[in-house]
Amino acid sequence: MSEENKKKELTREQKLAIEEKAIQALLDMGVKFSVPLKMEIKTQPKRISWWNRHFPNHQIIWHDDRFPKDWDVSIEDIPEADRQNMQTVYLRRFYVKPLYLGTIDRIRAEYLNIEFDEEKIQVAPGAESKKLFKYIPTMAKIAAMAVINDKRVTDPENEDVKELQAFFIEHLTVNTLSRLVSIISQMMNTVGFTNSIRSIVELPQPTKPKQNRVE
């Protein structure tokens, strides 16, 4: 290793500081992501195009009625799987805002339903990893609750959570879902919360005042 590379190599403390700043940015600003929709692009009818061209001050906003109006959807070009060509798709955009305590509590409950045995994975990584695919619905539910992030997530039977969970199962790849849940886990800031609890527990306990003895 050259002297120049040694100078550029970060110390452990510097790496931790960068990681802490990245996590803090997630906590403060949240994260945005987009999901390609499995729908063929539809263009607006010619009559509407004609109207908008001739009456620019009274344009008609056309909407593809195959998805709800409250979806944040745009038409964009993205690389195909082989990275050689571009394809035009509908992208549904999402924004995971900083998580509220109620949302974190519900996500925590979902995490507790996941059984993970590191020893078994070390012995038979292929077989044990395949067994973990049964938790895809749980991970999709965690992602849905993080996106909704309001009192609706406290209801186990909430239809909005179920619909978004089903959407993620249908449209997300395993890798994308895994990365998303990993980011959500960081946004929960369990390390910071644990350190806060530790600092509270380690506070010196108040001593009982000595009682005056009466002879």
Report how far residue 87's alpha carbon sits from residue 73's, in angstroms, rounded to the nearest whole number: 16
- Spatial contact of 36 and 89, defined as CB atoms under 8 Å apart: yes
Identify the residue whose tokens are 């078994």: 120
Give the pLDDT confidence score for residue 8 in this predicted structure: 61
188-212 confidence digits (pLDDT tens): 876 555 555 565 556 565 665 555 5
128 C-beta neighbours (distance < 10 Å), count: 16
What separation in angstroms does the CA of 12 have from each of 15, 19, 166, 191?
5, 11, 41, 18
Residue 72 makes CB contacts below 8 A (sequence gap 6+) with 92, 93, 94
Report how far residue 149's alpha carbon sits from residue 22's, in angstroms, rounded to the nearest whole number: 21
Please state the rounded mean pLDDT for residues 149-170.
95
Backbone angles phi, psi at 92, to 5 degrees: -95, 125
Report how far residue 42's alpha carbon sits from residue 44's, in angstroms, rounded to the nearest whole number: 7
Please state the rounded mean pLDDT for residues 157-170.
96
Name the residue with higher pLDDT: 172 or 121: 172
Write down the pTM of the prediction.
0.72
In one letter, which amino acid is 55? Answer: F
Local confidence band at 150 (pLDDT 50, 70, 90 cut-offs): very high
82-126 confidence digits (pLDDT tens): 667 888 888 999 999 989 999 999 999 999 888 877 777 777 777
7-61 confidence digits (pLDDT tens): 467 777 777 677 667 666 666 778 889 999 888 888 888 998 999 899 989 888 8
In one letter, which amino acid is 138? Answer: T
Report how far residue 101's alpha carbon sits from residue 175's, in angstroms, rounded to the nearest whole number: 27
Give the pLDDT confidence score for residue 75 in this predicted structure: 86
Give the pLDDT confidence score for residue 85 in this predicted structure: 81
